Chain A
Amino acid sequence: MGGEKEETSSKPAFDVGAASELVGKLRGAFASGKTRSYQWRESQLKGLLKMTEEHEQEIADALHSDLAKPELESYIYEAAMLKNSCRLALKELKRWMVPEKAKTSLTTFPSSAEIVPEPLGVVLIISAWNYPYLLSLDPVVGAIAAGNALVLKPSEIAPATSSLLAKLMGEYLDTSCIRVVEGAVPETTALLEQKWDKIFYTGNGKIGRIIMAAAAKHLTPVALELGGKSPVVVDSGIDLKVSCRRIIAGKWGCNNGQACISPDYVITTREHAPKVVDALKQELEKFYGKNPLESKDLSRIVNSNHFFRLSKLLDDDKVSGKVVHGGEKDQSKLRIAPTLLLDVPRDALIMQEEIFGPLLPILTVDKIEDSFDVINSGMKPLAAYLFTNNKKLREEFVMSVSAGGLVVNDTTVHLAILSLPFGGVGESGIGAYHGKFSFDAFSHKKAVVYRGFMGDAAIRYPPYTKMKLRLLKALITGNFFAIIRAIFGLSKD
């Protein structure tokens, strides 16, 4: 499970030389201008759509093999979202490709100007293991829509999906411009040595730093979709049943908590906490039954590394006695039951790093307003959630909590709104995508100015004189009378 594949065939290792050759080929393909045409972009997007539609079952099977992902989650969160992404791009592409006119002013008069989107060139997309289909292809949609050639490096920790992607993309897409490189650290390192026009990475902050440092050598711009501890603040006086359902759907309903925008921990008042715990317990049982370790509606933990990582969080002395629900584990099946921990100390291991699993700590505060300070004292997360009917609390949350994205009275659904930028801030990432933001992430917006030969202002050029200075000043401030005075040499100074 995971790790490097043993090469039994005589296929040579993908080393720096191979990577360099690949990039060279793609650059040649890009230079031919092929990827810039609307027709090419449209054909590739249609290819992705068709690929997803025609192989839905295989995709679900691969996701099941890699993650024991329930079929419905594979459908909603991976296939359907990717298809929507393709459809939106196909619908809007012509409009996105049109240059935007820019207003020009007195200082550059007479002129006209526009902002022309152009592809960056040859881009590298490195994807993650938790939503291996979506997080590989969603950025690919953006790269193609923007007219780039690309290499996709899927995660080796989801090997079935990785090899399915390599196979299908080879069949459905233009392999002279779009390639998949499978592998682990050596292959990724070889790829990172090359000069790319953009690197788009989804994963964790530790690797994010390595990628940005590698990119710095070539001054390659990067987009880093990372993670963090996405908090859920639960106020009182709300529909607790609906709220808990939405929290559960966002946590255990999203790959069993192994999602970058899953609720990581809950904050509520000391007074309200027991009610929250009870409501969560009730709804958890409704969703997953009395024996959640057996439930087919929960993904498993991806591999033994992560299983042990999560076990350690539960074994931490600081949280002993804090488990109020769940805690059961099955190492052979790599399963951990939905687990609630109440009143966890802030310095416990489980509160130091992103959990990325089915454990939900509940922190308590005196007043609900205190929760914002708790959130702001940590790293900026990818998402933050608040359940409340209190308008004032809601607006304070929106204004003072900094995160990639905020949702009030729900969790994770903002992912599906393609008119919203999806990305982090601070430790949770750099850049954003989805919808037009994907197109923009893989484009260069080139300023183009058109001037004629008429209408030149001699004041621009040497020899410099006091009169020219006066006139320049008048022009800059747009003061009509000052301009007239300056031209006629009637200025005050």
Chain B
Amino acid sequence: MEAIDDLDLQLGMLREYYYSGKTRDASWRRSQLKGILSLLKEREDELFRALHQDLGKHPVEAYRDEIGCLIKSVNYALDCLSQWMSGRKAKLPRAALLTSAEIIPEPLGLVLIISSWNFPFGLSLEPLIGALAAGNVAVLKPSESAPASSSLLANLIPVYLDNKAVNVVEGGPDVGQQLLHKKWDKIFFTGSTKIGRAVMAAASENLTPVTLELGGKCPAVIDSLTRSLDREVAVQRVLGTKFSPCAGQACIAIDYVLVEEKFSPTLVELMKGMMKKMFGENPKESGSIARIVNKRHLQRLKSLLDDPLVKASIVHGGSMDEDSLYIEPTILLDPPTKAAIMVDEIFGPLLPIITLNKIEDSINFINSRPKPLAIYGFTNNESLKTRMISQTSSGSLTFNDAVIQYAADTLPFGGIGESGMGKYHGKFSFDTFSHQKAVLRRSFLIDFWFRFPPWNDYKLQLFRAMYGFNYLLLLLITLGLKRSK
């Protein structure tokens, strides 16, 4: 662990390296991205081992959700880097003769990336890809709740990346606090809404811009699908994207389901069948479910089921093995909507199904709660889709699938309201760590002589014409062929 007392010294050195201009070089940035790629490919086994140790993740899950995703993102950044760095020309009005205008991206400087424990590699390296592509120097603070992953990152990053530009600082909340009160050019935080508030408050001391990737309760609206193939696929996707990514401990995992009362018995039956297919008779032994990260979270999830009305609503699962930090994938039907399980973000393998009179009621249900990171709609009804798009608000909205938006390089990934601010992935990562600088170049020739005082009515007339981009009028006035009003 870095000596936190030397923090100011450490940050000073990072800044000095940044001012040397080294990180602005396209070839340096490429070398860093390639370094991340090598790390991912050469140390795959160690990464899998750390994830298994911290979270009980199966290698396929680890690859699907973290390693593979990162490889895709780095390759995308390498392909696009030149284009991203080149900036673009801005349109000028015709009156702006002998002038050029462009928008040039430049790095922000020294950035802080604080990541979360549920996807410790994904949520550390995905922002880092953006920060390095954009030419910044960075401090990464991985989550102490995933200690094997945190220490692996601390060991591997100095080996694969330029350690004068990227530092890993390990530690818990007190280390996080110390870091937050330093001066950064950007803070990128992934974590809970509660800590997100504290991060932004600390950032305000230095007017540091922030990107906050937080959470919320992501609802899945399941319409009464008629075709059995559609039902099968929908249920597979819902259960697969709820219980499979880190046992539901994911910001974009489906938190709860909304379904029409009439359809709910069918849905529950289909789900029970699908659960067996995916996780077998004994899910604990399947090796396909991650663990709950630690005792504190297990207790938190356990207490969600303590409410007798909630417990009574369990229709599948419900068993736990506290010593192995295991909770069986659990489905609940209509727990009370005021219970904690329907108020707080679940972040675990418990799936409440709430029944409604009509499926359209789901829109009001969702809107009466804080804006989530994602909303999912499983439906073939085009009018319901249109209503969901225009009448609900969320970071993202996906139809007939879930979680998959995370893998799209061309879509902004981020929240709104309490689910966060700012976005990343693909070019959005590059942009979130850049300042888009406006640059205007003028010539000494050509000036509108009437730009300057002393003022008089004549000059005012000319300005009226010019601002109206009324070139003819401008000419006429100058030639003395038009009088003032």
Contact = CB atoms under 8 A, between A and B. Distances in A.
Interface in A143-173: none
A242 B66 CA distance: 58
A103 B410 CA distance: 6
B207 A426 contact: yes
A98 interface: no
Give the contact-size bracket for chain B. Answer: 35 or more
Contacts of A410: 440, 442
B172 interface: no
A447 B405 contact: yes
Given A226-B207, A450-B399, 8 more contacts: A104-B410, A111-B404, A213-B204, A248-B452, A408-B442, A426-B109, A451-B400, A461-B278
Contacts of B438: 404-406, 414, 417, 420-422
Contact of A219 (B61, B103, B214, B237): B214
A429 B438 CA distance: 14
B436 A456 contact: no
B440 A463 contact: no
A118 B96 CA distance: 33
Q: Which 3 A-B pairs have the closest CB atoms?
A: A462-B288, A212-B204, A216-B200
B94 interface: no
A421 to B, nearest CB: 5
Interface string A410-426: 10011001011110011
A453 B230 contact: yes
Contacts of A461: 236, 240, 244, 278
Contacts of A70: 453, 455
A72 B101 CA distance: 26
A430 B207 contact: yes
B398 interface: yes
Contacts of B439: 398, 405-408
B452 A398 contact: no
B395 interface: yes
Nearest to A83: B467
A115 to B, nearest CB: 7
Contact of B463 (A76, A105, A398, A400): A76
B440 A406 contact: yes
B130 interface: no
Given A216-B204, A409-B444, A419-B101, A287 B412 contact: no
Contacts of B60: 459, 464-465, 468-469, 472
A465 B101 CA distance: 55
Nearest to B244: A462
A445 B63 contact: no
B271 to A, nearest CB: 14
Interface stretch (B112-120, B262-270, B339-347, B413-421): B413-421
A420 B103 CA distance: 7
B229 A287 contact: no
Nearest to B403: A460
A102 interface: yes
Interface stretch (B5-13, B138-146, B298-306, B386-394): B386-394
Nearest to B193: A219
A403 B438 CA distance: 9
Among A104, A209, A402, A462, find the residue whose CB has the most chain B CB atoms closer than 10 A: A462
A296 B197 CA distance: 50
A447 B413 contact: yes
Interface in A441-478: 444-453, 456, 459-465, 468-469, 472-473, 476-477
A219 B421 contact: yes
Interface in A200-258: 205, 208-209, 212-213, 215-217, 219, 221, 224, 226, 238-239, 242-243, 245-246, 248-249, 253
Interface stretch (B279-287, B316-324, B352-360, B476-484): B279-287
Nearest to B183: A426
- Specify which of A297, A425, A429, A464 lies most central, judged by the most chain B CB atoms within 10 Å of its CB: A464
B209 A430 contact: yes
B396 interface: yes
Contacts of B437: 402-406, 425
Given A425-B435, A453-B234, A444 B416 contact: yes
A224 B404 CA distance: 34
A71 interface: yes
B237 A456 contact: yes
Contacts, number: 286
Interface in B204-259: 204-205, 207, 209, 212, 214, 227, 229-230, 233-234, 236-237, 240, 243-244
B152 interface: no
B417 A108 contact: no
Contact of B409 (A105, A287, A288, A419): A105
Contacts of B447: 242, 245-246
A464 B288 contact: yes
Nearest to A379: B207
B408 A288 contact: no
A179 B212 CA distance: 30
A213 B400 CA distance: 39
B197 A408 contact: no
9 contacts: A104-B408, A116-B389, A398-B439, A405-B439, A407-B439, A410-B440, A420-B440, A445-B423, A476-B72
A84 interface: yes
Given A287-B454, A297-B453, A221 B410 contact: no
A394 to B, nearest CB: 7
Contacts of B91: 419
A451 B398 contact: yes
B374 to A, nearest CB: 9
Nearest to A296: B455
Contact of B71 (A76, A104, A447, A476): A476
Contacts of A451: 398-401, 404
Contact of B63 (A409, A444, A472): A472
A294 to B, nearest CB: 12
B63 to A, nearest CB: 6
A239 B389 CA distance: 57
Contacts of B390: 36, 118
A75 interface: yes
A72 B455 contact: yes
Nearest to A448: B397
Contacts of B420: 219
Interface centre among B69, B209, B385 (most CB of A within 10 A): B209
B473 interface: no
Contacts of B96: 417
B236 A456 contact: yes
B92 interface: yes
B460 interface: yes
Contacts of A243: 444
A451 B398 CA distance: 8
B288 to A, nearest CB: 4
B335 interface: no
Given A447-B412, A451-B400, A461-B236, A213 B201 contact: yes
A72 to B, nearest CB: 4
